[in-house]
Structure 1
Amino acid sequence: MTQLEQLRAAMDGAGVDALWVSDPANVRAVSGFSSGKDGKVLVTRDGAVLYTDGRYTVQAQEESRIEQHIARPPETYQDAAERVRGGRVGFEAEHLTVAGLDALHEHWEAELVPTRGLVEGVRLIKTPQEVEAIREAQALADRVFAQVRPIIRAGVRELDVALELEMGLRRAGAEVGFDVIVASGPRGAMPHGVASERVIEDGDLVTIDFGARVRGYHSDMTRTVAVGRPSDEMRRVYEAVLEAEEAAVAAVKPGVRAADLDALARGILERHGLAEAFAHSLGHGVGLNIHEGPGLRGTSEDVLEPGMVITVEPGAYLPGVGGVRIEDLVLVTEGGHEVLSHTPKEPLPE
């Protein structure tokens, strides 16, 4: 079953005859058009149309797998109106603006129905082509990290490390997937501590979280490295987080509940007295968005299936002291899992 066929099956389950797709990543997923923020897609029972404007005529012809209609509103809505007249049309409630919904009401003679997660549900399972793009992005990120690792030393600003990572990704032909996190010393207690002016000091642990984007698909990896000899307390935290991360990765296979993976890692950190220091979920899916389904958190109802690409990233954060996060990118396979991130997890110096 193709992804479009899967989407139509999801539409049937939601009781809609058509779906108006406005989320940029979902536009790209359905059509292949890489400028999704400047496009919309209408999926009906017997067709699918990409709507974008004249700036993208050639690009849409080259990229889109579906019919294209080049126009601006209100002509966009007028063309679609004939295709949806008298039907039940789903719209993406978590993305479409109030103004956008008003425009649909104005131009369409159809019942508009809020939907959630229809395209996202299809995107949970990656195609072989999607997996290959993610694999390529991660391999590139691994190479860039290896090139930059020698400059992560005392006397270097966090910003300089981030800049070298970003330049390395771009030189290699990738985009920077998201804001690079470089959090050293006490700033390591900030899970999303993007690079700052702080100068790395001897004895610091430095948490680096970054990713590449290749053909629209992301990689995601975190390593915490030592500059000099860390304190005994931070060494203890590092070893605990590493134990939790490796145990959770080892447990990844089809049929495992995402919530159970979170509980496994959380339980290990709790035994080390770090339950309160683990301030976020265990991980998330990765694809066209850096954060997408499935969600690896305690309240998740997701169950792992072959073709899912997830992160496993426990962390422990001690305000005023420092923090540790270790993250791998993992493909769920028929027989278990494959770790896509190959950068070594460095042992701490004695």
Structure 2
Amino acid sequence: MPRTVFDEAEYERRIERTKARLREEGLDAVVVSDPANMNYLTGYDGWSFYVHQAVVVTPDRDEPVWIGREMDANGARATTWLSESSIRSYSDDHVHSPHDLHPMDVFADVLADLDVADGRIGLEMDAYYFTAKSYVRLQKNLPEAEFEDATLLVNWVRVRKSEQELEYMREAARISENAMAAGLEAIEEGVPEYEAAAAIYDALITGTEAYGGDYPSIVPLMPSGDHTGTPHLTWTDRPFEEGDPVIIELSGCRHRYHSPMARTTFVGDPPAEIERTAEVVVEGLEAALDAVEPGVTCESVEKAWRETIAQYGLEKEDRIGYSMGLGYPPDWGEHTASLRPGDETVLEEGMTFHAIPGIWGDDFGVEISETFHVTASGAETLADFPRRLFTT
């Protein structure tokens, strides 16, 4: 019995919306290789994205077709709602083959079986796990096909969440709260950074009394000391020292759905400049959240932040948030809407964002972030955790 986490009707709705996009774009098929998009359409969940795999959707077939490594086909049977005829696999000699075999040879055979060998086929050209060689091999095997870039086609279908998706994200938020508390408690002078990381990981997997956690798409990020102006560093062997600012960005994960959160702490008594910056970040974040409602644009939410921090002589050139939810390594973002100048995406009920308006300078950085859901009445922040600078 498949262990899908949504009912079949929800998957069918997702497929129908994807088919509608195919028709709008005049595509005869789309090859979906992003593991998050594969999961979204079929439920497939396995750590097999390091080899070539995909889901193929056509406008006229009821079910998509999963294609992957033969040893992973049972994973498709275990986690998807697909019938046996919709599960296709390639033999292991196609993996790192010394015989000039490639998984795209089998992909091409499947596309031919679906009668689209000479059709317009969408590919996720900028997806992490779709390689240049895959593209070249498909072109060689299907010389009559016309390939189009459909990188974000499914991502935009995903942008509005169902009630069950939102519930999984709320459950992820409970895990995020526990993990953040564990990390903050572990950080003190003399403690190696990896011990704080271990405490966070323990909480991320232990979850809550009611349910456990999955592995997150991004490891806990923990820049500290002089490096808090660089947001994407992890932990080291270095012990925390008095005078260290420390940023923690993490996310609980529940059935592949995330609810990221960032907080900043300080080992010892923080200087006035860091305290002031944290207060401005919180004020600006709250102004941005207050600006959220259906019908406004992403850029108008960012503008509320920008105008708030400008009163204090601060500015930030980077985006302050992005659409996110379902994800696999290396990213939980959906790569669609961003809270930034020039993004005229209109907010709709059911959209979810990670608002992360960090200030990163040459000497230190401050991050305080929230995941929010766009509701009819504004932003629902999914986590319930103090929004301030912490100290140890």
Per the normalisation by structure 1, the TM-score is 0.91
Is the contact made by 2:221 and 2:248 (CA closer than 8 Å) also made in structure 1? Answer: yes
Q: Please give the alpha-carbon distance, in whole angstroms, between the structure 2 residues aligned to 1:314 and 1:327.
A: 7
Per the alignment, residue 346 of structure 2 pairs with 303
Q: Please give the alpha-carbon distance, in whole angstroms, between the structure 1 residues aligned to 2:261 and 2:165.
A: 18
Q: Please give the alpha-carbon distance, in whole angstroms, between the structure 2 residues aligned to 1:127 and 1:282.
A: 24
Q: How does 1:43-192 map to 2 (within 5 A)?
A: 43-47=57-61, 48-67=64-83, 68-72=86-90, 73=103, 74-83=105-114, 84-95=116-127, 96-108=130-142, 109-172=144-207, 173-174=212-213, 175-192=215-232
**Alignment partner of 1:282 is 2:325:** no
| Cα distance, 1:169 vs structure 2 | 1.3
Match 2:366 to one of 324, 330, 341: 324
Equivalent pairs, count: 346
Letter in 1 for 2:362: P
Is the contact made by 1:329 and 1:340 (CA closer than 8 Å) also made in structure 2? Answer: yes
Percent pairwise identity: 31
Task: Give the direction of change, closer, same or farther, for the CA distance of 1:79–1:191 in structure 2 (3 Å limit).
Answer: closer
Q: Which moved more, 1:117-126 or 1:9-18?
A: 9-18
Per the alignment, residue 15 of structure 1 pairs with 26
Q: Please give the alpha-carbon distance, in whole angstroms, between the structure 2 residues aligned to 1:346 and 1:241.
A: 9
Is the contact made by 2:279 and 2:388 (CA closer than 8 Å) also made in structure 1? Answer: no
Q: Secondary structure at the match of 2:136?
A: helix
Q: Please give the alpha-carbon distance, in whole angstroms, between the structure 1 residues aligned to 2:241 and 2:317.
A: 25
Match 2:260 to one of 220, 224, 233: 220
Q: Please give the alpha-carbon distance, in whole angstroms, between the structure 2 residues aligned to 1:207 and 1:2.
A: 40
Q: Which moved more, 1:325-334 or 1:65-74?
A: 65-74
Is the contact made by 2:260 and 2:370 (CA closer than 8 Å) also made in structure 1? Answer: yes
**Alignment partner of 1:248 is 2:279:** no
Letter in 2 for 1:90: G
Q: Please give the alpha-carbon distance, in whole angstroms, between the structure 2 residues aligned to 1:273 and 1:121.
A: 36
Q: Please give the alpha-carbon distance, in whole angstroms, between the structure 2 residues aligned to 1:193 and 1:82.
A: 46
Task: Give the direction of change, closer, same or farther, for the CA distance of 1:118–1:168 in structure 2 (3 Å limit).
Answer: same
Per the alignment, residue 41 of structure 1 pairs with 55
| Cα distance, 1:159 vs structure 2 | 2.5
Match 2:355 to one of 306, 312, 315: 312
Q: Secondary structure at the match of 1:254?
A: coil
Q: Please give the alpha-carbon distance, in whole angstroms, between the structure 2 residues aligned to 1:102 and 1:318.
A: 43
Q: Please give the alpha-carbon distance, in whole angstroms, between the structure 1 residues aligned to 2:377 and 2:276.
A: 34
Q: Please give the alpha-carbon distance, in whole angstroms, between the structure 1 residues aligned to 2:151 and 2:74.
A: 32
Is the contact made by 2:193 and 2:236 (CA closer than 8 Å) also made in structure 1? Answer: yes
Per the normalisation by structure 2, the TM-score is 0.82
| Cα distance, 1:218 vs structure 2 | 1.8
Q: Which moved more, 1:47-56 or 1:197-206?
A: 197-206
Task: Give the direction of change, closer, same or farther, for the CA distance of 1:150–1:90 in structure 2 (3 Å limit).
Answer: closer
Q: Please give the alpha-carbon distance, in whole angstroms, between the structure 2 residues aligned to 1:304 and 1:315.
A: 22
Match 2:43 to one of 21, 26, 32: 32
Unaligned runs of 5+ in 1: none
| Cα distance, 1:347 vs structure 2 | 5.8
Task: Give the direction of change, closer, same or farther, for the CA distance of 1:77–1:316 in structure 2 (3 Å limit).
Answer: same
| Cα distance, 1:250 vs structure 2 | 1.8
Unaligned runs of 5+ in 2: 1-11, 91-102
Is the contact made by 1:281 and 1:297 (CA closer than 8 Å) also made in structure 2? Answer: yes
Letter in 2 for 1:317: W
RMSD: 2.1
Letter in 1 for 2:173: Q
Task: Give the direction of change, closer, same or farther, for the CA distance of 1:101–1:348 in structure 2 (3 Å limit).
Answer: closer
| Cα distance, 1:324 vs structure 2 | 0.8
Q: Which moved more, 1:32-41 or 1:8-17?
A: 32-41
**Alignment partner of 1:235 is 2:275:** yes
